[in-house]
């Protein structure tokens, strides 16, 4: 009888998704994805990742990861998601990340830095074990290489998906954005914008934007594709014009820096299928020149 009951329980457990974005709840308003190991192989990645160690807090985190045989360039994927309230999710997939030895190593390092305080309490469930943190957030152990951290309003919806009580799948709140988003590159973003988001986005073209997607491929230079939705035809036209002006201003700034570029020829902006669509390309030489010129002008910063 016990074995039959256990089999029935396990049959209701979902298979942990290869795409952790499927765990983001339907209340999600912003989702960001990074293919970290692929990014680490690109020219910008080779410049950015070592520079992270210049920040003391990040450097300490990197030291902990290194002590536990974890490395950014062996991290398969990272997904962050949030809602309009306190819901937050971080999904990480990295080699050996979810293995017992790795988790114990991380706990040991955190105890040593936290006056012996236990960083979490491990709890076993029928589907996926989890780690309960003192701040009320939780980490689920998806498998030997996947961890999901959640807090606030995301706790119950993610728990429902991981127990089979709710179906897996991309958040329906961002269905339109994911439908026009290519996630095959190293970086992607899908967002529904509220007033605070529009304040955060400094560019003038964001004033009437309702949603935003960005997909960036950095394998050989930069190819970025952007889509922006707005509520009316007038708002779309205004957003298109402001985005064109933003590209013109960027090109003028690169001219001032003395960077040889073809941004004016390679930047394309238009209204396609009811959204403003833009595409920009910079080759490796242009990116190197931009990093070098900015590095000359920003005192105290690294080679970025």
pLDDT in tens, 224-253: 999 999 989 999 999 999 899 989 999 999
Q: Is residue 247 part of a domain?
A: yes
pTM listed for this prediction: 0.87
- Residue finishing a domain among 121, 137, 169: 169
Same domain membership, residue 158 and residue 175: no
pLDDT score for 299: 41
Measure the CA–CA gap between 181 and 168, rounded to whole angstroms: 19
pLDDT band at residue 289 under the 50/70/90 scheme: confident
- 31 touches 174 (CB < 8 A): yes
Same domain membership, residue 38 and residue 132: yes
- 142 touches 92 (CB < 8 A): no
Same domain membership, residue 179 and residue 159: no
Q: Is residue 145 part of a domain?
A: yes
Helix 233-257 and helix 284-297: axis angle, to 10°?
70
Average pLDDT, the chain: 88
pLDDT score for 43: 84
**Backbone φ and ψ of 287, nearest 5°:** -65, -40
Q: Is residue 136 part of a domain?
A: yes
Same domain membership, residue 163 and residue 31: yes
Confidence check: pLDDT of 52 > 70: yes
Give the CA-trace dihedral at 82, 99, 61, 77, to 10 degrees: -50
Measure the CA–CA gap between 63 and 59, rounded to whole angstroms: 6
Same domain membership, residue 128 and residue 46: yes
Q: Is residue 267 part of a domain?
A: yes
Alpha carbon distances (Å) from 25 to 35, 90, 128, 176, 197: 21, 12, 18, 15, 19
Confidence check: pLDDT of 297 > 80: no
Same domain membership, residue 178 and residue 117: no
- 36 touches 78 (CB < 8 A): yes
Least confident window among 70-74, 269-273, 299-303: 299-303
Q: Is residue 72 part of a domain?
A: yes
**72 CB-side CA count, 13 A:** 18
Same domain membership, residue 101 and residue 91: yes
Same domain membership, residue 80 and residue 197: no
Q: How confident is the model over 281-294, as a mean pLDDT?
A: 85
Q: Is residue 10 part of a domain?
A: no
Give just the sign of the alpha carbon dihedral 66, 67, 69, 70. Answer: negative
Same domain membership, residue 145 and residue 74: yes
Same domain membership, residue 220 and residue 155: no
Structure tokens at 161: 């998906």
Considering 17-31, 40-54, 55-69, 72-86, the range whose residues carry the highest mean pLDDT is 17-31
pLDDT score for 199: 66
- 27 touches 83 (CB < 8 A): yes
The residue segments making up the domain with residue 228 are 170-298
Same domain membership, residue 158 and residue 71: yes
pLDDT score for 92: 96
């Amino acid at each position: 009888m016990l074995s039959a009951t256990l089999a029935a329980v396990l049959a209701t457990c979902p298979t942990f998704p290869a795409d952790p974005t499927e765990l983001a709840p339907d209340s999600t308003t912003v989702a960001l994805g990074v293919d970290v190991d692929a990014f680490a192989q690109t020219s910008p990645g080779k410049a950015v990742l070592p520079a992270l160690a210049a920040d003391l807090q990040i450097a300490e985190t990197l030291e902990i990861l290194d002590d536990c045989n974890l490395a950014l360039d062996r991290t398969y994927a990272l997904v962050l998601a949030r809602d309009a309230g306190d819901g937050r999710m971080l999904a990480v997939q990295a080699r050996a990340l979810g293995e017992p030895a790795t988790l114990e190593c991380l706990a040991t390092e955190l105890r040593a830095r936290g006056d012996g305080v236990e960083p979490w309490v491990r709890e076993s469930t029928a589907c996926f074990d989890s780690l309960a943190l003192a701040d009320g957030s939780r980490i689920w152990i998806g498998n030997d290489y996947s961890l999901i951290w959640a807090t606030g309003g995301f706790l119950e919806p993610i728990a429902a998906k991981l127990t089979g009580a709710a179906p897996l799948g991309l958040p329906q709140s961002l269905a339109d954005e994911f439908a026009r988003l290519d996630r095959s590159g190293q970086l992607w973003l899908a967002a529904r914008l509220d007033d605070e988001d529009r304040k955060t986005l400094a560019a003038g073209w964001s004033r009437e934007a309702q949603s935003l997607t960005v997909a960036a491929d950095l394998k050989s230079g930069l190819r970025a594709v952007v889509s922006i939705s707005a509520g009316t035809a007038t708002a779309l036209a205004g957003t298109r014009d402001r985005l064109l002006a933003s590209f013109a201003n960027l090109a003028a700034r690169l001219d001032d820096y003395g960077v040889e570029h073809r941004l004016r020829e390679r930047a394309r902006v238009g209204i396609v299928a009811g959204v403003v669509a833009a595409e920009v390309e910079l080759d490796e030489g242009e990116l190197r020149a931009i990093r070098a010129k900015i590095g000359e002008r920003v005192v105290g910063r690294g080679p970025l």
